[in-house]
Amino acid sequence: MTRSLRLFYIALFMVTLVVLGLWSTRSFFGFSTNADATVLNGRWAKAVETHYDEEFPIKRLGTNLWAALDYKLFNEGRPGVVLGHDQWLFSDEEFDPIVNEELNLQGNYALVEGVRQELKNKGVKLVMAILPAKTRLYPEHLGDVKPSSIHANLYQDFHAHVAANKIIAPDLLVPLQQGKLNGQQVFLRTDTHWTPDGAQIAAQTLAKTIAEQTPLSGEPQRFVTEQVEEVTHKGDLRLFLPLDPLFENMMPPTEPLQKRNTVLAEGQAIGDDAMFADTEVPVALIGTSYSANPNWNFVGALKEALHSDVVNYAEDGHGPIQPMLSYLKSDAFKDSPPQVLIWEFPERYLPVNNDIGDADPNWVAELKEAGARQQNVAANTKSETPDRAQN
C-alpha cells in the first residue's frame, strides 16, 4: 500500500468517526440527569458517558445486525430466551440445567417448610399457588428444543413435597389446561407471564380450595371486575431479541392485552368492618411479578373469587423467596397477621439458588434447619406406619 493510499484510509476513518460522533450528539438535545448527579461527585460524567454509549450509531447497528444474523441463520436470541415455533418465545430458565440443582432443591423444600412453621406460630394458614411453567402448558410450540431433565417432573415433585408437609396447594395445571382447551389463552405468546384469563383461572381454583379447607371468617364482600382497555403488549421476552429499530419487521409481532380492573361492588360498605381496620387481615399475597404486575389482575381476580380483601406484598423482579423473607420480618406480619397467606411460587424457581435480599443469612439457615428437621420427622413417621400395620 502506497503512502498516499494509507493517508487516504486514515483520513476516511477519521472523517467517519467525526461524522458518527456528531450524529450521536443529536441525542443530547433534551438530555437531563438527576439532581444529585453533579460534576463534583462524578455522577454527571458517568450519566453522559452511559447515554453516549447507548446512543452511538455503530453500537446500535452492530447490535441489530448481529441479532438479526443469530435470529435468521441459527434461530437464536440473546441468553434469556428460547425461540419456539409460531412466533412463541420462552424463558430459558425453563430449559437450562442448573448448577447444584439437587442441593438447591432440598434447601428450598426445607425453607418452604420452615416458612410454614413461622406462619403457623402466628396462626396463619399457608396456601401455596405453585405456577406450572409455560413450557408445560404450551409444549406444542417448543419445536425440537426440550427442557433439561431437572424440569421434567418438577411440578409434580413440588406438589408431592408440600403435600407430605400438609401444606395446602391446589393443582393449577389441570384447570389451566382445561381453560386452554376451552379456547382461552392462559400464557402470553411473547412474555414470561400468564394472561388475565390464566390469572383468573388460578384465582378461582385457589378460592375454591380455601373455601373448602380453610374458610375465611368475617363478612364476605362482593367485588366486580371490569374490562378497561385493550393495549398493545410487547412481551418481556422480546427484549432478548434486540432487532429494533433496524429490523423491527423481523420481530415476533406484539399481541393484544385486555386489561381488567376489580373494584368493590356498588353498595358495599367501606366502614371499619369492610376494611378490617381492627387489624384483622383476611388474606395476604406474596409472590413474583405474576402477582405484583397489575397487567394480569391476579389480585383483583382473587378478591372477586374469595369475596374478600387481599393485601398484596408481592414484588416484581425478586423471585418468590425474597419477598416472603421480607414480609416475615415486617411490622405488617408482626402486628396484623392474615388468616390465610397465599404464596405464589413459579416452579422454575425451585431448583435455583434464590436471592434472599437483605435477610439475615443465619436466620434463613435456621428456617431451613427447622424445615429439614420437620421433613425428617414426617419421613420417619411415614416409613414406620407400614411396620406398625404389619405388627
How do the domains of the chain map onto residue ranges? Answer: 3-90, 100-378
- Whether 53 sits among the annotated catalytic residues: the reply is no
Nearest to 348 by CA among 92, 167, 79, 82: 92
Phi then psi for residue 273, to 5 deg, are -65, -45
- Per-residue pLDDT, 131: 98
For residue range 193-250, list pLDDT tens digits in order: 999 999 999 999 999 999 999 999 988 999 999 999 999 999 999 887 765 665 566 6
pLDDT confidence tier of residue 276, bands split at 50, 70 and 90:
very low
For a pLDDT cut of 70, what percent of the chain falls above it?
75
Contact 237, 89 (CB under 8 A): yes
Cis peptide before 245 (omega within 30 of 0): yes
Pairing of strands 338-346, 89-91: unpaired
Query: Among 151, 159, 193, 233, which one carries the catalytic annotation?
Result: 193
Burial label, 353 (beta-carbon count in 10 A; 0-12, 13-18, 19+): middle
Q: Which helix (H) or strand (E) holds 211?
A: helix 196-213
User: Between these two residues, 323 and 268, which has the higher pLDDT value?
Assistant: 323
- Whether 191 sits among the annotated catalytic residues: the reply is yes
Query: Among 24, 289, 308, 326, which one carries the catalytic annotation?
Result: 289
- Whether 217 sits among the annotated catalytic residues: the reply is no
- 113 forms beta bridges with none
Buried b (16+ CB within 10 A) or exposed e, 143-179: eeeebeebbeebbebbbebbeebebbbbebbebbeeb
DSSP code at position 288: S
- In the sheet that holds 281-286, the strands lie side by side as 125-131, 338-346, 281-286, 310-312
Contact 107, 371 (CB under 8 A): no
Query: Among 151, 191, 233, 308, which one carries the catalytic annotation?
Result: 191
For residue range 83-120, list pLDDT tens digits in order: 888 889 999 999 888 888 899 999 999 999 999 999 99
Residues 6+ apart with CB under 8 A from 17: none
Residues 6+ apart with CB under 8 A from 52: 24, 27, 28
The grid cell for 380 is 420417619
The grid cell for 252 is 415476533
- Per-residue pLDDT, 230: 93
Q: Rounded distance, CA 186 to CA 316, Å?
A: 20
- Per-residue pLDDT, 306: 97
Task: For residues 271-296, give the mean pLDDT.
Answer: 77
The grid cell for 190 is 411473547
